[in-house]
Amino acid sequence: MIFIDNLHSNSKFDWVKNMSQQLTIALSKGRIFDETLPMLAQAGIVPNENPETSRKLIIDTNHQDIRVVIVRASDVPTYVQYGAADFGIAGKDVLIEHGGSGLYQPIDLKIAQCRMMVAVRQGFDYRKASQPGCRLRIATKYPHIAREHFASKGVHVDIIKLYGSMELAPLVGLSDAIVDLVSTGNTLKANHLEAVEHIADISSRLIVNKASLKLKYNLIQPIIETFKQAVAASS
Ligand code: PRT
Ligand code: MG
């Protein structure tokens, strides 16, 4: 409730309220929205609707000056970078691909955790196929991460950019391997694929527009503090 007190009683920052009172939070629906809700609640912010059941893209909250915009997970950094949202939450996978420019990333929220992996058809001889000097076809939604990974191993790759269902690519001969996120491993198993290489541990970060942080400091800083406390309490 620190946040609510600041919002209403910190007269020192009244000029900020007069200048631009609205705070816009960019979230993707699904796991990030679900895992962010408890942290927002600790900061005293409660969305009025559930994006899974509502078709609205702008969701009001219990504060008339705070709203949530629902965007694709990979679009969250773009909304925050251009200031269309003051802050948002995005996976490290998305942030690496985006480049993170213009974004302040104060906290690893440790939510939506998973691993970026290389996976192949069960029985495919990946060790042999990925010797330095070899050439592999990789299907992925993450061309930047995949390119960096194989460059560091000295393996030549042809990257095939996909937007979803990467698991299909090796099954129909589109690629030798995929670079994708793995959480339980059930999707790989159901499609007779296996993970053969770990690239990175992934979790979601709070991202803040740098100008918003300066101009709306008294609104945003207490939220950052509350999120930090929530992460510390859960780890
Ligand atoms: O789904 P959409 O195409 O709209 O976008 P998105 O996939 O980017 O969004 P969303 O909401 O699915 O994921 C948002 C963020 O959650 C990602 O950017 C990751 O940081 C994080 N995250 C955590 C995951 C997973 N776990 C995950 N398991 N994102 C995707 N997956 C997918 C994975 O791509 C694979 O298809 O789930 C499948 C594997 O799951 P398991 O449990 O079967 O291993
Ligand atoms: Mg998804």
Percentage helix, strand, coil, to 5, in the chain? 40, 30, 30
CA of 30 to the centre of ligand 2 (A): 8
pTM: 0.91
Query: Are 89 and 125 contained in the same domain?
Result: no
The whole domain housing 26 covers 4-112+203-234
216 vs 33: CA distance, rounded Å:
23
CA of 180 to the centre of ligand 2 (A): 11
Query: Are 81 and 146 contained in the same domain?
Result: no
CA of 69 to the centre of ligand 2 (A): 18
**What CATH number does residue 12 fall under?**
3.40.190.10
Query: Are 132 and 75 contained in the same domain?
Result: no
Ligand 1 closest atom vs CA 72: 4
15 vs 20: CA distance, rounded Å:
9
Query: Are 107 and 208 contained in the same domain?
Result: yes
Which ligand approaches the C-alpha of residue 183 most closely? 1
Strand order across the beta sheet in which 156-161 lies: 156-161, 135-140, 177-182, 114-121, 193-202
61 vs 13: CA distance, rounded Å:
22
Ligand 1 closest atom vs CA 28: 11
Q: Are 67 and 59 in contact (CB under 8 A)?
A: yes
The residue among 156, 150, 151 whose CA lies nearest residue 133 is 156
User: For residue 191, what are the CA distances in angstroms to 17, 32, 121, 196, 207?
Assistant: 53, 25, 8, 15, 34
Query: Are 9 and 107 contained in the same domain?
Result: yes
Query: Are 96 and 196 contained in the same domain?
Result: no
Query: Are 102 and 9 contained in the same domain?
Result: yes
Query: Are 182 and 134 contained in the same domain?
Result: yes
Angle at 63 between CA 60 and CA 64, to 5 degrees: 70
Query: Are 107 and 19 contained in the same domain?
Result: yes
Domains in the chain, number: 2
Q: CB of 185 closer than 6 A to ligand 1?
A: yes
pLDDT of residue 133: 86
Q: CB of 198 closer than 6 A to ligand 1?
A: no
Q: CB of 88 closer than 6 A to ligand 1?
A: no
48 vs 73: CA distance, rounded Å:
21
Query: Are 25 and 99 contained in the same domain?
Result: yes
Per-residue pLDDT tens, the chain, 235 aa: give them. Answer: 444 444 444 443 443 444 456 999 999 999 999 999 999 999 999 999 999 999 999 999 999 999 999 999 999 999 999 999 999 999 999 999 999 888 999 999 999 999 999 999 999 999 999 998 889 999 999 999 999 999 999 999 999 999 999 999 999 999 999 999 999 999 999 999 999 999 999 999 999 999 999 999 999 999 999 999 999 998 8
Query: Are 95 and 139 contained in the same domain?
Result: no
Give the burial string for 33-59 (b: 16+ CB within 10 Å, else e).
Answer: bebbeebbebbbbebeeebeeeeeeeb
Q: Are 175 and 118 in contact (CB under 8 A)?
A: no
Query: Are 121 and 42 contained in the same domain?
Result: no
Evaluated on CA atoms 198, 180, 50, 80, the torsion sign reads positive
